[in-house]
Amino acid sequence: MGYFQNINFNNYRNFSKSSFNFDKGCNIILGNNGSGKTNILEGISLFDKGRGFRKEKIYNLINYNNLDIGFEINSFFKNENTDFNIDVFNSENNSKKISINNSIEVESVKHFQSLFSIIYFLPEMERLFVSNPSSRRNFLDRLIFTFNKKYSSIINSYKKAVNERNILLKNITYDENWIKIVEDNIVKFGSIIYKSRENQVQNINTILNTLNVATNFSYNFFLKINDKFLDKNSPAYENPELYSSIIKNNRKIDFISRGCTIGPHLSDLSGYSRATKFNVNQLSTGQQKTVILLIILAQCKYLIDKLEFKPIILLDEVCSHLDYVNRELLLYLIEELNVQVFLTGTEKSFFSFLSTKGHYCNIS
């Protein structure tokens, strides 16, 4: 099991120079609103591929009092008997750079990032199922990314192909051979996304159906991908010829609509009661939080039991709407799964249900 032993900030966000030590189990970060609790979690997420869970521009991570000197985040990461000294910093053109044991070689960074995955909960995720479809697609895609680090490149390649086709369709005299190549890429990457999402939903549903944790939560639910094209031509990702022909036949429609009218960029993720098909978006805020936490638990179980891979969990302000059921889920996550967990909150009393299980970090 890999875990972060500490984290050191220099000129990052509201921290001019700060250090925090961590336990390999449960870590509770306490502080007033605006003290930087979420910034610490974001700093941890920056060690993974991408721009962290806020998707923030790298320039905005620099402490506003010293914008001319850049930022650095350092940590020691322990994996079995190997220690890694990791640095994250901004380059001169304000892109993110990672150094592993003083090496910025791509293979070194890829090897380190293959040793861990991050699953996170943010306060706005409580309302995920009443938010927009894009948020739900991104949520599902992030779960896939936890064990397939190439998946984000597939998503980006798909979006690039769709945008390129949109540009070509604006030109009435577009090159037929070129647009076919672009559409082939849409089908290629779109099929991978469709199949990855379907497989992941099936995996989560299988675990949810057997996960006997929230004993006082009577709402037994399952996840489903809603997609008109996929439902009508299921499974579309196993029939690239059909997928390709429909996209080609839709060129006139897509020219008028200025977009691609079929594909995984239009899919949605929903949750339904197994008994009544009642949609989870009708549940209370606290119950919807339970749904999200159960999905996160199912994802953790999938990674641990099926892939023998333990994720690192970031839970930001998770203690609002924390009833008995949600406390039960957090206790299971902390006590049974044996993963490194980070929780943030404003008061120590919020975490009294954890008893002595937590390592506290106080931000003054």
Output the pLDDT for position 81.
86
**Percent of the chain scoring above 90 in pLDDT:** 77
CA gap 59, 96 in Å, rounded:
9
Rounded Cα distance between 351 and 321, Å, is 13
Is residue 125 within 8 A of residue 269, CB to CB? The reply is: no
CB atoms within 10 A of CB 154: 19
| 210: alpha, beta or left? (left if phi > 0; alpha if psi -120 to 50) | alpha
15 or 357, which is more confident: 15
Quick: pLDDT tens for 318-349. Answer: 987 688 888 899 999 998 899 999 999 999 98
The pLDDT value recorded for residue 221 is 93
pLDDT > 70 in the chain, percent = 100
Indicate whether 1 pLDDT > 80: no
The mean-pLDDT minimum among 5-9, 36-40, 231-235, 334-338 falls in 231-235
The pLDDT of residue 322 is: 81
Two tokens at 57? 């521009």
Average pLDDT on 175-190 reads 96
Can you tell me the distance from the alpha carbon of 294 to that of 291, in angstroms, rounded to the nearest whole number?
5
Global pTM value: 0.94
Average pLDDT over residues 172-184: 93
| Token reading at 149 | 């680090």
Taking only the tens place, the pLDDT of each residue in 250-280 is 999 999 998 999 999 999 999 999 888 899 9
Please report which confidence band the pLDDT of residue 92 belongs to, taking 50, 70 and 90 as the band edges: confident
Tally: H helices and E strands in the chain: 11, 13
The three-class DSSP label of residue 279 is: strand
pLDDT at 214 exceeding the cut of 80 = no
Question: Mean per-residue pLDDT for 177-186?
Answer: 97
Query: pLDDT tens, 220-247?
Result: 899 999 998 888 877 878 899 999 999 9
Question: Rounded to an integer, what distance in angstroms lies between the CA atom of residue 190 and that of residue 154?
Answer: 9
Could you tell me which of 115, 113, 31 has the C-alpha nearest to residue 40?
Answer: 31
**Per-residue confidence at 67, pLDDT binned at 50, 70, 90?**
confident
Domains and their CATH numbers in the chain: 1-116+311-364 (3.40.50.300), 125-309 (1.20.1050.90)
Backbone torsions φ then ψ of 5, nearest 5 degrees = -85, -30
Q: pLDDT at position 178, please?
A: 96
Q: Is the pLDDT of residue 204 over 80?
A: yes
Q: What is the mean pLDDT of residues 94-120?
A: 94
Nearest to 16 by CA among 52, 57, 69: 69
- pLDDT tens digits, residue range 113-130? 999 999 999 999 999 999
User: pLDDT band for position 68 (50/70/90)?
Assistant: confident
Mean of per-residue pLDDT scores for the chain: 93
Alpha helices per DSSP H over the chain: 37-45, 106-113, 133-145, 151-169, 176-210, 228-232, 240-249, 251-257, 285-301, 307, 324-335
* The pairing of beta strand 15-21 with beta strand 6-12: antiparallel
pLDDT category, 219, cuts 50, 70, 90? Answer: confident
Whole-Å CA distances, 215 to 49, 219, 325, 342 = 36, 10, 8, 24
